[in-house]
Amino acid sequence: MSTKGNWSPPAVSGRLFTFGLVASWYSSNIGVLLLNKYLLSNYGFKYPIFLTMCHMAACSLLSYVAIAWLRVVPMQTVRSRLQFLKIATLSLVFCGSVVSGNVSLKYLPVSFNQAVGATTPFFTAVFAYLMTVKREAWITYITLIPVVTGVIIASGGEPSFHLFGFIMCVGATAARALKSVLQGILLSSEGEKLNSMNLLLYMAPTAVVLLLPATLIMEENVVGITMALAREDFKIIWYLLFNSTLAYFVNLTNFLVTKHTSALTLQVLGNAKGAVAVVVSILIFKNPVTVTGMLGYTVTVIGVILYSEAKKRSK
């Protein structure tokens, strides 16, 4: 009597592998977000540019180890100076997104940060409309109304609202969307396309070079201050090392989950991840939330789901 295909050992082990990947993806994403918040807000480490540079340094080192030594993916080479300049442009926008996001965490609770971050599809649609000839079906643009409306509602009901933090968070979200649109434009030819792991291999060290002068100018003597902090509490070094390693695993697990699941599954998981991050952050940091704030976030998430569905149907 044959075993049903759905319950064969390879299928079960495949499910367990996928579940482990998704759990790792969630853990690394939510973990780095919460640890960033703890360091920049609760712990009092007020150096978001240096923190981002630590992330990029770890991503540079671990990307090289993963690709050159462990051969997680085949290494792709940069073939021209023009291609490198395109990658450097993406790296600059990427830096702006990550630094702005980290700055916003100094002033905003994670729950509200995630609500604003959920509006990425709105900015992606706007930049795609302005920078390419690509036009979506009208119903797709209609679904963006609840995405933006939800954030407006959430802003009005956020007890810890901070204008500068909000501007930084919107900037980070817009920059994240701009990077995805630019990537589609700049690295569109077959000879220039890089998978996300190889792109990170080249973007991360470029980001370190870009962030180093910004850190030295805007966060003066940050290394000396960090060393002084370490003499009082050595845990800060472990926090920075663990946080930076997690930042790399966010990228690695995102690549692996994308590779091993369908586009629809990825959309559903992505939408759920933001909600899980909100719940976990409220439980840990105990920041006050209101019914209005949660209603706004819910409206935004519903808008994102409708947007994803409209885009899928218009293809």
Residue range 50-105, pLDDT digits in tens: 999 999 999 999 999 999 999 999 999 998 999 999 999 999 999 999 999 999 99
Q: Round to whole Å and give the CA distance between 68 and 63.
A: 8
DSSP letter at 8 equals: S
Cα separation of 66 and 137, whole Å?
Answer: 41
pLDDT average, residue stretch 183-205: 90
pLDDT of residue 8: 46
pLDDT over 90 for what percent of the chain?
77
Q: What is the pLDDT of residue 117?
A: 94
* pLDDT reading at 27 higher than 50: yes
Instruction: Write out pLDDT tens, residues 208-251.
Output: 999 999 999 999 999 999 999 999 999 999 999 999 999 999 99
Terminal-to-terminal C-alpha distance of the chain: 43
pLDDT range class, residue 1, cuts 50, 70, 90: very low
Whether residue 187 is predicted with pLDDT greater than 50 in this model: the reply is yes
Question: DSSP labels for 67-119?
Answer: IIIS-SS-------HHHHHHHHHHHHHHHHHHHHHHHHHHHS-HHHHHHHHTT
> Using CA atoms, how far apart are residues 39 and 51, in angstroms rounded to an integer?
9
- What gap in Å lies between CA 239 and CA 6, rounded to an integer? 43
Interval 176-192 mean pLDDT: 89
Average pLDDT, the chain: 91
What's the pLDDT tens digit per position in 269-303? 887 888 899 999 999 999 999 999 999 999 999 99
Return the pLDDT at 303. 93
User: Is residue 9 over pLDDT 60?
Assistant: no
Which residues have C-beta within 8 Å of that of residue 311, sequence separation ≥ 6?
Answer: 136, 140
Q: Determine the pLDDT at residue 25.
A: 94
Per-residue pLDDT, 263: 63
pLDDT, residue 189, reads: 81
| Token representation of residue 160 | 């810890």
Average pLDDT rounded to a whole number, residues 143-150: 95
pLDDT of 6 strictly over 50: no
Question: Which residue has better confidence, 262 or 116?
Answer: 116
- pLDDT in the model for residue 132: 87
Q: Is residue 120 predicted with pLDDT exceeding 80?
A: yes
pLDDT at 144: 94
Nearest to 140 by CA among 153, 129, 155: 129
- Give residue 96's identity as a one-letter amino acid code: G
Decide: 100 and 153 in contact? Cβ < 8 Å. no
pLDDT for the residue numbered 264: 65
Q: What mean pLDDT do residues 262-266 have?
A: 70
- The answer to whether residue 205 scores a pLDDT higher than 80 is yes
